[in-house]
Amino acid sequence: MNRREFLLAGGLVGLGTAAAVSVIVKDRLPAPPIDVTGEATVRKLSVLQNVAQTETEDPHVRMQRELVRAMSKPVEQRHWIMIIDTRKCVGCQACTIGCIAENKLPPGVVYRPVVTEESGVYPNVQLHFLPRPCMHCDNPSCTPVCPVKATWKRPDGIVVVDYERCIGCRYCLNACPYGARTSDFGRFYTSGAAQGAPVTGDRAVYGPVGPWEKEPSNEYLKHWTREHHDSPVGNARKCHFCLHRLEVGQLPVCVTTCIGRATYFGDSNDPDSLVVELKTKHNCQTLIPHWGNKPQCFYIL
Amino acid sequence: MTVMQSTSRGPWISSARGLSAPGAIVWVLWLILTGLGLYGLYLRLQYGHILAGYGSYVPWGLWIGLYFLGVGISGGAFLLGGLGFILGLPGFSTRSELRIAISLSVAALIPSFLGVALDLGRTERLLNILAFPSFTSMMAFNAWMYNIFLVVAGLAWLISFKDHSTWLKPLLVAGCFFSILFPSQSGVFFEAVRTNAFWHSPILSVLFLASAVALGSVGLLFTRYMTNLSGKTGASQGQDADQAVGRLRVVAIFAIGTYLVFEFAEFSVAFWNPGAHSKSMIFLLFGDYWPVFWLLHIGLGALIPMALFLSRARALWPIASALAAIGFAAARMSVLVPGQIAGQIPGLQEAFQDPRLVYSYHPTLMEYLVGCLMLAVGIATFVVIQRLSDTIGQWTKQTA
């Protein structure tokens, strides 16, 4: 190589390195929020307005009031957390089913399974139940790996997925240590299910997808039908604390379906909220804390 | 056997007088691979991912393994071919020899893109990765790097037809720089998953770089040996090719050895001090994956090729190269799959039962068929680029 070639080579390598470093640094620096913030996010909800507050009211009613209070603040002043009292959980899986019904989840997609653990030796045996929603980590490992900025943490702490941008690479699925993200592979519970037998034969007739499976889900305040392989088919899917319900003053469906009042939800920025009270009073634990994800779902053991 | 004179096209490309015997075999194999692959593509397009074996707990499978294999061959082939040309090593110093390396490099990368594209849940949004990249993700960084590399490799290939250009060597230096970076980044792709103990190890990028050098050397050795098969009548080219094959064989031996040493280093730390990654390690070494690791990767893919490379029978070297490539495909799967089968919440698999929610993975027929398509596309790309090289080369000679 002569001197000119050497300088050109150095220039190309240097230019490439400088460009790479600059784009990496740019994307690592704090960026303005993707979501709308400020007054536009304040919700004046009339839920429970005409119901007098009592000291002994059900935790659900109290949490609902607190939800309305939180929604009257701009989004960046809220910070949603969930507390699960495992001592009260009976493993009924109502939250799992409620979530599936609310979000119209297809086969293989689950936002809130309940893990059952058996401990001890007969006769001293015990069953423990551990509902596992998305942890909505304060330092999520799933969001920075997304190559197209399709998932991020909102100012109120909810980790969301943009179904219209997600390319379905499933990198985030691998990055989540809790297995809280699942991919929608485009299946339907009723596709290929037997509908009956024709009059002249004994073979079952396999029908089309049941119409109830084409009902739209309202995740992220939009309508998602999954028909014609539309999103969220092919996308990563996860618990979003029923964001669409929060916007209209309703608690996440896993909270309202919990028969044992074992799941609590609220704004941790509100010092008078039930979740803050529980978190302070109890020795709350998080799952696999050593990865440093700072999960925002806490467990009372 | 039909003899092709002073051309780099190889025995699998028809000459004016028809096909050579090895060429005919390669063509038949290619047609079979293409037929199978197209059927796999039909299944993928018709049924989406329903026929695939991966799921939500093991989200990546065979196609991603093959993708990283292709990336390794691509980076290694360009690095060795480019360096050999820049340094003027016999067997690498002519432009036609350089073009073989570039063709192989590009031909390995194109099917890798195909594999990734078909693996995506929303294939039609593939270009989002270039349009809306987030460079906090190694996947986006890699995607950009591959595309820049392709541009550099394409420019170098085009300029190589000019007799005197001051840009060729600088472009090759830049290309070699990228060829070191992007195979290493393939390791970082896994390392960056900080919540996965099996992957979150800095040695992976070194392992992937070593494997890229090994794959590049065996890939080039194979193609140089085959292209030289029918070109031996052209004495100087035959000698140069022989020298190139000899050098590549030495590089392959050292690179495979280096890979095994680093792999041993990584495993010994985990094995003598079991931690969070021990579940993956046991699965790989003694569990369901032992045949892939011990038989395919270590036995068939490393020890046997090393033994064949150490022999003086040159005819065994391309066989060793093919075996080493299979071995590194197994090595890729030995990184990919064990890192995904160790769930961190005991009982999660049983909590909600579904075939897609299991911590195990076996490639399905559809995945293997698409794998055949990737191989067929790679072969076709190589042949097309080599044909173009010959055509443009002859044309530039005539016009000069």
How close is the nearest chain B Cα to the Cα of A42, in Å?
30
Contact across the interface for A176 and B125, Cβ inside 8 Å? no
How close is the nearest chain B Cα to the Cα of A87, in Å?
18
Contact across the interface for B193 and A175, Cβ inside 8 Å? yes
pLDDT at B279: 85
Q: What Å distances lie between residue A78 and A91, A267, B33, B49, CA to CA?
A: 30, 6, 57, 39
Within 8 A of A20 by CB-CB distance, chain B residues are 141, 145
Contact across the interface for B173 and A9, Cβ inside 8 Å? yes
Within 8 A of B193 by CB-CB distance, chain A residues are 141, 145, 174-175
Give the nearest partner residue to A13 out of B57, B145, B173, using CB atoms.
B173
Within 8 A of B125 by CB-CB distance, chain A residues are 148, 165-168
In a domain, B222, yes or no: yes
β-strand pairing of A80-85 with A297-300 = parallel
pLDDT at A199: 66
Contact across the interface for B141 and A177, Cβ inside 8 Å? no
Give the number of other CB atoms < 10 A from CB of residue A190. Answer: 16
pLDDT by 10-residue block (mean), chain B, 400 residues? 42 54 84 97 94 96 96 96 94 91 96 96 94 93 93 95 88 94 92 91 93 96 80 53 89 96 87 76 91 96 96 92 96 95 93 95 96 96 92 84
Dihedral of alpha carbons B184, B187, B188, B191, sign? negative
A282: Cβ contacts below 8 Å, ≥ 6 apart: A300
Contact across the interface for A168 and B171, Cβ inside 8 Å? no
Q: % helix / strand / coil in chain B, to the nearest 5?
A: 70, 0, 25
Give the nearest partner residue to A185 out of B49, B141, B166, using CB atoms.
B49
How close is the nearest chain B Cα to the Cα of A217, in Å?
19
Cβ distance A132 to A89 under 8 Å?
no
Nearest Cα residue in chain B from A15: B174
Give the nearest partner residue to B135 out of A23, A182, A229, using CB atoms.
A23
β-strand pairing of A194-196 with A205-206 = antiparallel
Give residue-wise pLDDT tens across range B83-98: 999 999 988 989 999 9
- Which positions of chain A have pLDDT values less than 70? 196-205
Within 8 A of B171 by CB-CB distance, chain A residues are 12
Domain that holds residue B295: 196-344+355-363
Contact across the interface for B345 and A107, Cβ inside 8 Å? no
In a domain, B371, yes or no: no
In a domain, B320, yes or no: yes
Contact across the interface for B348 and A132, Cβ inside 8 Å? yes
Taking the C-alpha atoms of residue A16 and residue B174, their distance in angstroms, rounded to an integer, is 8
In a domain, B204, yes or no: yes
Nearest Cα residue in chain B from A164: B125
The model's pTM is 0.91
Give the number of other CB atoms < 10 A from CB of residue A91. Answer: 19
Within 8 A of B347 by CB-CB distance, chain A residues are 115-117, 130
A98: Cβ contacts below 8 Å, ≥ 6 apart: A253, A254, A256, A257
Contact across the interface for B344 and A288, Cβ inside 8 Å? yes
Q: Which residues face A117 on adjacent strands?
A: A128
Number of compact structural domains in chain B = 1
Q: What Å distances lie between residue B66 and A98, A271, B108, B161, B180, CA to CA?
A: 40, 53, 10, 32, 19
Cβ distance B56 to B357 under 8 Å?
yes
Q: Please spell the DSSP secondary structure of B298-353, one letter per residue.
A: IIIIIIHHHHHHHSS-TTHHHHHHHHHHHHHHHHHHHHHTHHHH--SSTTHHHHS-
**Assembly ipTM:** 0.91
**Three-class secondary structure of residue A90 per DSSP:** coil
Please, what are the domains in chain A? 75-187+208-301 (3.30.70.20)
Within 8 A of A141 by CB-CB distance, chain B residues are 193-195
How close is the nearest chain A Cα to the Cα of B184, in Å?
15
In a domain, B267, yes or no: yes
Residue among B186, B188, B356, B190 nearest A175 (CA): B190
In a domain, B8, yes or no: no
How close is the nearest chain B Cα to the Cα of A27, in Å?
6
DSSP-derived letter for residue A226 is -
In a domain, B178, yes or no: no
